[in-house]
């Protein structure tokens, strides 16, 4: 029998202790842009520390950074984020917002996008 999710994954201490708040799970792009978001979303170091670099997120960040850097060649100016509710659209938009701002202080930039594509 394959291992269970609880055998494979260890929740963060704040989740285990019950210290998380509902608003921590409601990302708001406008708050990130305006500098009023919770630190988990506003601080690029915290944001990327708690974000898994999925293939879709890496591809989105690459496409946008190629376009913004002028190195995009044939990269489309329009990207359709084809996921349902809870599929990571806002999370992806926050990630590319941080990328456009240079991902300052993020130690694992290369896990998400080629550092040479950042401003």
Give residue-wise pLDDT tens across range 71-114: 876 777 778 877 777 677 899 999 999 999 999 999 999 999 99
* pTM flag (> 0.85): no
Domain ranges of the chain: 22-117
- CB burial of residue 1 (10 Å; 0-12, 13-18, 19+): exposed
How far apart, in whole angstroms, are the C-alpha atoms of residue 8 and residue 11? 10
């Amino acid at each position: 029998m394959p291992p269970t999710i609880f055998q494979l994954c260890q929740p963060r201490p704040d989740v285990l202790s019950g210290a998380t708040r509902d608003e921590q799970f409601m990302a708001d792009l406008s708050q990130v842009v305006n500098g009023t978001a919770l630190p988990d979303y506003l601080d690029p170091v915290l944001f990327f520390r708690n974000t898994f670099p999925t293939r879709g997120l890496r591809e989105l960040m690459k496409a946008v950074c190629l376009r913004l850097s002028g190195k995009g060649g044939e990269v489309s100016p329009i990207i359709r984020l084809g996921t349902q509710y809870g599929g990571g659209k806002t999370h992806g938009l926050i990630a590319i917002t941080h990328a456009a701002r240079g991902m300052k202080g993020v130690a694992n930039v290369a896990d998400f996008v080629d550092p040479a594509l950042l401003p």
